[in-house]
Amino acid sequence: MSKYLKDLITNELKSRLEGIDDALVVNVVGMEANANVELRRSLREKNMHLMVVKNSLATRATEGTALAPAFEGSAGTLAVVWGGEDVVSLAKEVVRLSKNEEYAPFAPKGGVMDGSKLSAEDVTAISKWPNRDEQLSLLVGQILAPGANLSSQLTGVGGQLASQISQKAEE
């Protein structure tokens, strides 16, 4: 491959990966074409993107960016997956799809989150974390719990008092 062609591909990769801070690296080598199309379709439905890249070109394209650690120490052809609501949702989907026999060689190989390199085991561990929506619901529950307790304590006493007054009124 000529240097001019490498520069063109590198610039294209830079433009496509611009602004992406969290991504996962997966293996798709050896996957059947129909399975690959179905995999991409299922990812696209969740606003996630998959792009197959040559490791050396991806290393050149991500040099000096937050994605650079994802390609350190890797070799061969890889696929980059990014998008979704957050990196936890992305990891959950990648791990879920990797367990599906239809996408047999598809498996997480690592990635990058907040500038830190992730291993395949890290991706699996992250997939068990609560995603953004789950975290927000936990937070809202914790914020509302004291108020709900106070409200129930105040209305409980008032209800008992009203009950006692109505009993006295009947006598």
Question: Could you state, in order of their start, the residue ranges of all structural domains in the chain?
Answer: 3-129, 131-171
CA-wise closest residue to 87 among 150, 53, 42, 135: 135
**What mean pLDDT is predicted for residues 85-109?**
91
Q: What is the pLDDT of residue 125?
A: 93
The arithmetic mean of pLDDT across residues 122-148, rounded, is 89
Mean pLDDT of the chain: 88
Q: At what angle do helices 87-98 and 33-44 cross, to 10 degrees?
A: 150
The pLDDT assigned to 111 comes to 92
- Give me the pLDDT at residue 37, please: 93
Q: Where are the alpha helices (DSSP H) in the chain?
A: 3-17, 33-44, 55-61, 87-98, 120-126, 132-170
Cα of first residue to Cα of last residue in the chain, in angstroms, is 100
Q: Mean pLDDT across the stretch 61-80?
A: 86
Question: How many Cα atoms sit within 13 Å of 123 on the Cβ side?
Answer: 26
User: Does CATH number 1.10.357.20 belong to domain 3-129?
Assistant: no
Mean pLDDT of the 87-96 span: 93
State yes or no: pLDDT of 47 exceeds 90.
yes
Tell me the mean pLDDT in the region 123-137. 89
Higher pLDDT, residue 168 or 99: 99
The label of the residue with tokens 């890290």 reads 122
- Answer for the pair 22, 88: CB distance below 8 angstroms, yes or no: no
Whether pLDDT at 1 is above 80? no
What's the CA gap between 171 and 62, in Å, rounded?
A: 84
Mean pLDDT to the nearest integer, 137-156: 85
pLDDT at 48: 94
The residue type at 131:
N
Q: What is the pLDDT of residue 158?
A: 78
